[in-house]
Amino acid sequence: MSSTASTAPPIPSTLMVRERLLLWSLAAINFTHIVDFMVMMPLGPQLTKLFHVSDAEFGLLVSAYSLAAGLSGLLVSMVIDRFERKRALLLVYAGFAVATLACGLAPSYGALLAARVAAGVFGGVLGALVQTIVGDAVPFERRGQAMGLVMSAFSMSTVAGVPLSLWMASRWGWHMPFFAITAASLVVLVAAWRSVPLLRGHMTGVSAQPPITQLKRVLAEPNHWRAFALSMLMLSGSFSIIPYITIYTTSNVGLSQEQVPYVYFAGGVATLFTARLWGRLTDRWGKVLMFRVISVLAVLPMLALTHLPVVALPVLLLVTTAFFVFVSGRMVPGMALLTAAPEPSVRGSFMSVNGALQSAAMGVSAWVGGLMISRTPEGLVQGYGRAGWLALVTTLIMVWWVGRLRLHTQSAPARG
């Protein structure tokens, strides 16, 4: 396997325009479902007071989405490659919009919980479908830039989506963010209908098989398991750190609650630019090389953040911003590599299973991170540094492990 970037002939301008419109539509889909997931967490104070529920019951609202996303990804993996990609994307995205509208209309805690499960079912499949379409529609030599653009949606959700949603909630109530996401989803749905091409090349021979056969094909391939292991390693170290950043920095580093938005705003603005930079460098220097370089660089802010003493705000923002830039940055070449691990005929199923395993990895890692920390009698967090060392170990393993992947770098399947 070569880690060097491949050369390609000049690309016609009309093709580049169509490809850009496709990628911006996919990024917008990513943006809406990421904001839908993220906005629940800061709405906690309003919802616990309104519905008279405990913190644990509110936590179920958050975790129900991830659990539903993981389970739906696993189930859908058996049939997703039997459908043309554009039709599947539009149907799933329409279901997501309806589920999000149900969240805003929910009159009780039970109704909201059911709506969050439904949103997770569709949202989990959406993430895998977006990545699959990038893999199908964009040649391998340009896939790093494509992933960088599509994944910049996470930065936009941090910088604009969540703060705007919280402003709406404070002004018009907790329902309004979900209504706004639904309205935005309808606009994006039309844009996707116009810009996403028909992708049928993966369907040859798939519809004649029993649904379980496709899942068996995915799980029987050793190279897929190497890719799944890499995917889970990418998330294991970082998600033992991320859920506790606010707790640690406000308890141990001197950050006030009013200053917390600065951390995410600075990180979001920086990654908005660096995600696309990593994409260009990934295609120019090679995906394996860039994955290794960014992963090693990410260790520095992970260790610094988890061992940080009381520091001035500019120093803290420098560390946290570097954390977001490099930790999220390694996902750009990482996901470009993962889309090339399966053959096109099983790419949708593979990415659905991968999404389910990623959800599990995030949940387990967050739980392990919580076990590592405790509170002193003074209220300070202790043991957070262990999460940093765990991140170092997982990084060293995956930097070696990525060289074991076998890649399928053929161009996109035929359209019709």
Question: Under a CB-based contact definition with an 8 Å cutoff, are residues 350 and 321 in contact?
Answer: no
Q: Residue 267: its pLDDT value, please?
A: 85
* Alpha carbons 82 and 348: distance in angstroms, whole number: 9
User: Is the torsion defined by CA of 63, 323, 358, 26 positive or negative?
Assistant: positive
Residue 309 domain flag: yes
Q: Residue 412: its pLDDT value, please?
A: 47
Q: Residue 233: its pLDDT value, please?
A: 93
Q: Residue 293: its pLDDT value, please?
A: 96
Residue 412 domain flag: no
Residue 241 domain flag: yes
Close Cβ partners of 225 (under 8 Å, ≥ 6 residues apart): 219
Tokens 């002939």 correspond to what residue?
9
3-state secondary structure of 382: strand
Residue 57 domain flag: yes
Q: Most distant CA pair in the chain: distance in Å?
A: 66
Residue 8 domain flag: no
Using DSSP bridges, classify how beta strands 381-382 and 374-375 pair: parallel, antiparallel or unpaired. Answer: antiparallel
* Alpha carbons 212 and 214: distance in angstroms, whole number: 5
Residue 380 domain flag: yes
* Alpha carbons 214 and 220: distance in angstroms, whole number: 10
Identify residue 91 by its one-letter amino acid code. Answer: L
Number of domains in the chain: 1
Residue 291 domain flag: yes
Residue 414 domain flag: no
Q: Residue 162: its pLDDT value, please?
A: 72
Residues (pLDDT < 50) of the chain are 1-8, 411-416
Q: Residue 366: its pLDDT value, please?
A: 76
Identify residue 301 by its one-letter amino acid code. Answer: P
Domain containing 125 — which CATH number? 1.20.1250.20
User: Is the torsion defined by CA of 302, 304, 308, 311 positive or negative?
Assistant: negative
pTM of the predicted protein model? 0.73
3-state secondary structure of 255: coil
Residue 374 parent element (H or E) = strand 374-375
Q: Note down the domain range covering 208.
A: 14-404
